[in-house]
Chain A
Amino acid sequence: MAEVALKGVTKKFGSTVAVDDVTLTVEDGAFVVLLGPTGAGKTTMLRLISGLERPDAGDIVISGRSVIGETPAQRDVAMVFQQYSLYPHMSVRDNLAFPLRSPILRTPEDEIKRKIAEVAEVLHISHKLDNKATALSGGEMQRVSIGRALVRDPAIYLMDEPLSSLDAKLRADLRIELKRIQASLGATLLYVTHDQIEAMTMATHIGVLDEGKLVQFGAPRDIYENPVSLYVADRLGLPRINRLPADLFAGAPSGAKTIGLRPEHIQQGDGKPAKVVRVEHLGDQTRLHLDLDGHAVVTLSDAHTPLEPGDTLAIQPRNALYFDAAGARIA
């Protein structure tokens, strides 16, 4: 395992700037999650590191050496693709063995056998090893794809939304499983996703991407509590942060245009009256949809709340986040 650093990396496709002057260090043993919506440049970033794309500017350093001139094979990275990475003409076993049989590794067959058994065990696919890759469910395919990376011992694992095609239950299981595997191997892992839960639960560091730019990088808790902009604040937290005009409540710092209110920033019982529009019982959460002077506000409440649509509830901000007209955080 090794440290991977991007230094001022830019990649353009025609007039689209897919990755815009990104500087980022993935420390040895870190689990870094890049979070951003579709089109933010997540896939491009992984392709740049793996050598499938060449940057227009900047440098990429793996274990202290610049890899710009190296082929993907020389860079010693393993990658799990968003889709399509199992070879349909091979069995599951051969798919897993494929990286080990490469001319660079040339692993002896008995060791291949041992490694495959090990990885298959961890990913619960031992009973599927002799299936054709096409005779698997979506979840199994994705686990085999992850397995194909895990059989190797590369400088860094790159994973491109590996769980996005799975159902919720499997996603939750694999999230925990992946985190456990990474921790036990001490692996360096760069994982991209648009799913904030994956980011919050697995990452040691989160990087937030906005149209190719890395807008914030830090520990999950830190990014959640101290977002640098409204964009970043929007990426984390369920229900999403509420945006209200800053002048709705007294006490906004000068220059503030928007107040960002997470559920925990909303104190119930005092302040301005808001009308309850809807009460959603999600099981683990109970969400209150409120109407505050014509602005929609969503917050959480007790599971056994007596509130019903039509009731009135007084609310006021507590330690809220303030943003200027451009969306940058000011307090």
Chain B
Amino acid sequence: MSGYSVTEPSSTQKWVAGVLVIGYALITLMPLLWILATGFKSSADSIAYPPKVTFQPTLEGYVNLFTTQTRQTPEYLDAHPPQTWYEEIVHDKGMVIAGPSRFGERFMNSVIIGFGSTFLSVFLGTLAAYAFSRYRIPLKDDLLFFILSTRMMPPIAVAIPIFLMFRNLGLSDTHTGMILLYTAVNLSLSVWLLKGFIDEIPREYEEAALIDGYTRFQAFTKVVLPQAATGIAATAIFCLIFAWNEYAFAVLLTSGTAQTAPPFIPTIIGNGGQDWPAVAAGATLFLLPVMVFTILLRKHLLRGITFGAVRK
């Protein structure tokens, strides 16, 4: 059978394809599975050699991730029996919980900055892309090229001017600053991607709406936006992935209030020995939002990722 056969694949072909896909998935998902598993291991199990595939799961890593702890004397520990399951985990190691760790805050910072800049990038990008797609704009091609050119060097190349600018403007270590920065970086991608999608929507749709008694803005919201949903979803995912994973600027420009999870997670390692389960727990939680977001937008994404090539 030729490689371009349009007939149903035979059951052998399906089997072979299935085995290949599963094998490939196992190989690529291995690191993720390992992170997931390590998060539920005890400290000892996490560094055991040879590595343990089966182990007694514990929430120690997660408790360590979310709390700070201090060592106490046995007398003190006896006098203060644990009240909750997480206090008990800590108690068993001869420690007591001193308070919450900064992970929760840092994680929330990531959520605010990641989703905030994604929303802003896609919102502004959609408006700009619509204008570029539909209106006669003087110097349109030059403007579009200028917008694209902002991504021609790695953003970190301008780290020093941005650092100084942020300090002078009082944007260092603020949510606003980071949202603006990530939006600025993502906007060119967003405008270009969305312009491609909006160009594909025939103008006749909006024109029909105009004739039917709608204003241009209503035609935009009722006709263009729903049809650009695919492109908007795909663009949002690209923007979120960048903002969520960004490390270099986060290290440079945030240290406290607005610090995001990527620069924070490695610092967990230093807190009293190498606490791999806590690091793995942090990494696991860090992976979740992008995963959930992508799965939610999945049905749009498949078509979106082909950049309109198979929309018809």
A and B together in one complex: yes
Residue numbers of A with Cβ under 8 A of B are 50-52, 71-73, 75, 77-79, 81, 83-85, 87-89, 98-99, 102-105, 148, 152
16 A-B residue pairs with Cβ-Cβ distance under 8 Å, sorted by A, are A50-B211, A51-B210, A72-B210, A73-B212, A73-B213, A75-B211, A78-B211, A79-B211, A81-B207, A83-B202, A83-B204, A88-B227, A89-B227, A103-B218, A105-B213, A152-B212
Within 8 A of A (CB), among B157-203: 202
B178 to chain A, nearest CB (A): 35
Complexed CA–CA distance, A75 and B211 (Å): 8
B208, A103: Cβ atoms closer than 8 Å: no
A77, B211: Cβ atoms closer than 8 Å: yes
Complexed CA–CA distance, A45 and B218 (Å): 25
Q: B34 near A: Cβ within 8 Å?
A: no
Complexed CA–CA distance, A73 and B210 (Å): 6
Q: Which residue in A85, A87, A103, A148 is a CB contact (below 8 Å) of B215? A: A103
On chain A, the residues within 8 Å of B209 by CB distance are 98
On chain A, the residues within 8 Å of B227 by CB distance are 87-89
Interface residues of chain B: helix, strand, loop or mixed (majority): helix
Query: If the complex has contacts A52-B207, A72-B207, A103-B218, are A87 and B212 also in contact, measured as CB distance less than 8 A?
Result: no
A102, B214: Cβ atoms closer than 8 Å: yes
Complexed CA–CA distance, A75 and B204 (Å): 17
- The interface bits of chain B over 116-130 (1 if a CB of A lies within 8 angstroms of the residue's CB, else 0) are 000000000000000
Complexed CA–CA distance, A73 and B206 (Å): 12
4 interchain residue pairs of minimum CB distance: A102-B213, A104-B213, A99-B212, A89-B226
A162 to chain B, nearest CB (A): 13
A146 to chain B, nearest CB (A): 13
Question: What interface size band does chain B fall in?
Answer: 10 to 19
Q: Which residue in B202, B204, B215 is a CB contact (below 8 Å) of A73? A: B215
On chain B, the residues within 8 Å of A104 by CB distance are 213
Q: Which residue of A lies closest to B210 (CB)?
A: A72
On chain B, the residues within 8 Å of A99 by CB distance are 212-213
On chain A, the residues within 8 Å of B213 by CB distance are 73, 99, 102-105
Complexed CA–CA distance, A99 and B209 (Å): 7
- The interface bits of chain B over 61-78 (1 if a CB of A lies within 8 angstroms of the residue's CB, else 0) are 000000000000000000
Q: B205 near A: Cβ within 8 Å?
A: yes
B219 to chain A, nearest CB (A): 10
Query: If the complex has contacts A87-B223, A88-B227, A89-B227, are A79 and B214 also in contact, measured as CB distance less than 8 A?
Result: no
B134 to chain A, nearest CB (A): 13
B175 to chain A, nearest CB (A): 35
Q: Which residue of A lies closest to B208 (CB)?
A: A85
On chain A, the residues within 8 Å of B202 by CB distance are 83-84
On chain B, the residues within 8 Å of A50 by CB distance are 207, 211
- The interface bits of chain B over 222-236 (1 if a CB of A lies within 8 angstroms of the residue's CB, else 0) are 010011010000000
B214, A103: Cβ atoms closer than 8 Å: yes
A167 to chain B, nearest CB (A): 21
On chain B, the residues within 8 Å of A98 by CB distance are 209, 212
On chain A, the residues within 8 Å of B210 by CB distance are 51-52, 71-73
A149 to chain B, nearest CB (A): 9
On chain A, the residues within 8 Å of B211 by CB distance are 50-52, 72-73, 75, 77-79
Complexed CA–CA distance, A248 and B122 (Å): 73
B231 to chain A, nearest CB (A): 13
Complexed CA–CA distance, A98 and B214 (Å): 10
On chain B, the residues within 8 Å of A88 by CB distance are 227
On chain B, the residues within 8 Å of A52 by CB distance are 207, 210-211
B218, A79: Cβ atoms closer than 8 Å: no
A144 to chain B, nearest CB (A): 12
